[in-house]
């Protein structure tokens, strides 16, 4: 990304890994809503975009062995890996108190200040990498962050077979979360905002209906709002039964959603709802779900491109970023 526009460079320097970092040679990337938004409306300093990847560890920087960093970096050299785009500083008060997910200096691959993965090589903290088992292909592995976020969210939700569950929002994470919950409860439905999501639901056998037709009957034991907007939260409290639970996670990165805003705080008090925010990723869990093969990834993939074709694709107004574009990165010539 250069001076407010996105460009494709044929030759880029190979980065040097810092302390605790690995150099990863990229083989696949996925275009999420955030990357698509950055391509459509670039902002911030010049940098390489991209946050979802699968690649092979080429080299490890200093200080990546056993110790305060998780895992042994040396063991990962030559291995196929996926990993979190989010990196914590490791030294602020929150990181030191076990709240690294809420680091005061949290950085994200491809966001201002951090080079992203839309490149032949990029650097990433060794501690954020997870090895990909041989049974998972690159086209599946590159969706690991979606499955990692859904795994984390689904684990946070206390579910039992006979409760009524509604999932609001139909980004890729919302869809996978609904599929995971549907494997543990009989009555899980997803309230969709986009026709592309309804097609995924059909292929996965998920109950679904348009969010606008959900009604507000206060009969759901548990509502999982994966949009995390004011209006989706308004819908969530309209669906939840008295003393029900609402889990909120912003997985699409977008505000906006179904229905008009209501008196959300008033409804929470009136109905004695329990509301909990959830954010984070469970990469080992996500990779394990992919390895299990119970959720076919093909319906989540809108198209396959080369990296060079990505900018032209996502500026198309028809691209909503809710299902993924996968781009392959051919072996570098240098
Ligand atoms: Zn920190």
| Secondary structure of residue 284 in the 3-state scheme | helix
Domains observed in the chain: 21-143+297-328 (3.90.180.10), 152-277 (3.40.50.720)
pTM: 0.90
Dist. CA 125 → ligand 1 center (Å): 14
Dist. CA 133 → ligand 1 center (Å): 30
CA angle 228, 171, 206 (to 5 degrees): 110
| Secondary structure of residue 200 in the 3-state scheme | helix
At residue 238, the pLDDT reads 93
Whole-angstrom distance, CA of residue 170 vs CA of residue 212: 13
At residue 253, the pLDDT reads 58
At residue 137, the pLDDT reads 94
At residue 66, the pLDDT reads 45
Residue 98: is it exposed, middle or buried by C-beta count within 10 angstroms (0-12/13-18/19+)? exposed
Dist. CA 124 → ligand 1 center (Å): 16
Contact 24, 122 (CB under 8 A): yes
At residue 316, the pLDDT reads 72
At residue 195, the pLDDT reads 79
At residue 308, the pLDDT reads 84
Dist. CA 69 → ligand 1 center (Å): 14
Alpha-carbon dihedral sign for residues 115, 116, 122, 128 = positive
Question: Mean pLDDT in runs of 10 for the chain (334 residues)?
Answer: 70 88 94 78 86 94 57 80 92 93 91 91 93 94 95 95 93 94 95 86 94 88 92 92 94 55 77 91 96 92 84 72 73 68
């Amino acid at each position: 990304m250069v001076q407010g526009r996105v460009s494709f460079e044929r030759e880029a320097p190979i980065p040097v890994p810092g302390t605790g970092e690995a150099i990863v040679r990229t083989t696949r990337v996925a275009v999420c809503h955030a990357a698509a938004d950055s391509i459509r409306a670039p902002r911030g300093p010049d940098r390489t975009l991209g946050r979802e990847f699968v690649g092979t560890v080429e080299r490890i920087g200093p200080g990546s062995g056993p110790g305060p960093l998780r895992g042994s970096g040396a063991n990962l050299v030559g291995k196929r890996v996926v990993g979190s785009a989010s990196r914590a500083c490791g030294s602020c008060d929150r990181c030191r108190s076990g709240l690294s997910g809420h680091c005061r200096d949290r950085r994200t691959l491809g966001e201002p200040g951090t080079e992203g993965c839309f490149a032949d090589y990029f650097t990433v903290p060794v501690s954020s990498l997870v090895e990909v088992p041989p049974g998972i292909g690159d086209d599946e592995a590159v969706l690991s962050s979606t499955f990692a976020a859904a795994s984390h969210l689904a684990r946070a939700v206390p579910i039992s077979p006979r409760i009524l569950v509604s999932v609001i929002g139909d980004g890729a994470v919302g869809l996978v979360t609904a599929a995971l919950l549907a494997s543990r409860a009989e009555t899980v439905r997803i309230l969709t905002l986009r026709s592309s999501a309804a097609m995924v639901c059909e292929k996965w056998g998920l109950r679904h209906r348009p969010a606008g037709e959900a009604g507000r009957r206060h009969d759901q034991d548990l509502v999982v709002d994966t949009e995390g907007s004011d209006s989706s939260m308004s819908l969530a409290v309209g669906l939840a039964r008295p003393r029900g639970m609402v889990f909120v996670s912003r997985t699409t990165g977008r505000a906006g959603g179904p229905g008009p805003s209501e008196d959300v705080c008033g409804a929470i008090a009136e109905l004695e709802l329990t509301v909990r925010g959830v954010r984070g990723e469970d990469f080992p869990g996500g990779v394990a779900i992919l390895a299990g093969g119970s959720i076919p990834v093909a319906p989540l993939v809108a198209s396959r491109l080369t990296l060079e074709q990505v900018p032209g694709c996502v500026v198309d107004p028809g691209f909503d970023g809710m299902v993924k574009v996968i781009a392959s990165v051919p072996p570098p010539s240098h």
